[in-house]
């Protein structure tokens, strides 16, 4: 008698819809916010009571529960195995398929599931908007802005080298290394070859690109005036 009353209560359309809503919201929010398992526990409890009602009524069996459980596993795997949403879609199909299979009236169950899903989407969107700083997506987003005032630069600033002289350490063919003001610098020429241990002058700096050409004591002043 008690089992019959409990089954009638749990399988009532209103009760079943609420249980589905709790199940969907609990599991979805747990996957999105990782609430130490509390929301997942609430979600599992909602679905468990839903299946319990139809089990007591003699409709739900092990196969229905297995399909539903497979859906949960696939949804969890989506968090750890990038599948471009394939696992999520398969998981949702299994989860909702298990719910429909367990019901005595799949058409009625589809309506209850649709209502529960719509209400769950509203609650989930509200939760995402309210607690967006705690969502799982923050683990994959670089939140620190890499700005120059915080000491970050995409390329080293070489503008201070303009018009300075130095010596080529390696042959420049046209790229190589030069010693400028005691600093080893990767440099290039405008296409000319410069042998090693030759005096050079920096004629152009574009970001990390340092352009040099060969000079000597007799034409150094002329080149500085030209540039």
Q: Which of 78-82, 112-116, 121-125, 191-195 has the lowest mean pLDDT?
A: 78-82
Helix/strand/coil for 118:
helix
Confidence of residue 115 (pLDDT cuts 50, 70, 90): very high
- Is residue 36 predicted with pLDDT exceeding 80? no
Residue the block writes with tokens 């000491």? 151
- Is residue 180 predicted with pLDDT exceeding 80? yes
Confidence of residue 3 (pLDDT cuts 50, 70, 90): confident
Q: Are 64 and 51 in contact (CB under 8 A)?
A: yes
3-state percent breakdown (helix, strand, coil) of the chain, nearest 5: 55, 15, 30
- Is residue 80 predicted with pLDDT exceeding 80? no
**Taking residues 30-46, what's their average pLDDT?**
81
- Is residue 170 predicted with pLDDT exceeding 50? yes
Q: Which of the listed CATH numbers 2.40.340.10, 2.40.50.140, 3.40.190.10, 3.40.50.970 matches domain 159-226?
A: 2.40.50.140
Contacts of 56 (CB under 8 A, 6+ apart): 3, 4, 6, 7, 10
Question: Which residue from 198, 151, 154, 224 is spatially nearest to 187, judged by alpha carbons?
Answer: 198
Task: Give CA–CA dist 121/5, Å, rounded.
Answer: 31
Q: Give the pLDDT confidence score for residue 217 in this predicted structure.
A: 42
| Mean pLDDT score of the chain | 81
Confidence of residue 64 (pLDDT cuts 50, 70, 90): confident
Q: Which residue has the higher pLDDT, 47 or 75?
A: 47
Q: Give the pLDDT confidence score for residue 84 in this predicted structure.
A: 76
Q: Give the pLDDT confidence score for residue 5 in this predicted structure.
A: 86
What percent of the chain lies above the pLDDT cut of 70? 82
Ranges for all domains in the chain classified under CATH 2.40.50.140: 159-226
Confidence of residue 116 (pLDDT cuts 50, 70, 90): very high
Q: Are 100 and 70 in contact (CB under 8 A)?
A: no
Quick one: angle between helices 86-102 and 38-56, nearest 10? 30
Task: Give CA–CA dist 62/80, Å, rounded.
Answer: 27
Outline where DSSP puts E strands in the chain: 165-168, 175-180, 183-188, 199-206, 209-214
């Amino acid at each position: 008698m008690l089992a019959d009353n409990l089954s009638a209560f749990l399988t009532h359309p209103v009760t079943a819809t609420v249980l589905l809503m709790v199940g969907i919201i609990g599991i979805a929010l747990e996957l999105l916010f990782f609430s130490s398992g509390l929301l997942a526990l609430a979600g599992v409890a909602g679905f468990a009571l839903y299946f319990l009602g139809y089990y007591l009524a003699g409709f739900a069996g092990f196969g229905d529960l297995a399909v539903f459980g497979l859906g949960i596993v696939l949804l969890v795997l989506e968090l750890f195995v990038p599948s471009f949403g394939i696992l999520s879609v398969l998981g949702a199909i299994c989860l909702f398929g298990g719910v429909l299979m367990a019901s005595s009236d799949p058409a009625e169950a589809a309506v209850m599931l649709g209502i529960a899903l719509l209400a769950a989407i509203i609650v989930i969107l509200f939760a995402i908007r309210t607690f967006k700083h705690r969502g799982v997506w923050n683990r994959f987003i670089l939140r620190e802005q890499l700005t120059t005032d915080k000491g970050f630069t995409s390329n080293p600033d070489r503008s201070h080298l303009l018009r300075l002289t130095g010596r080529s350490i390696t042959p420049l063919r046209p790229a190589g290394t030069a010693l400028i003001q005691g600093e080893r610098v990767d440099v290039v020429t405008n296409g000319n070859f410069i042998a090693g241990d030759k005096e050079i002058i920096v004629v152009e700096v574009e970001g990390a690109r340092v352009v040099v050409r060969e000079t000597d004591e007799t034409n150094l002043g002329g080149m500085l005036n030209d540039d």
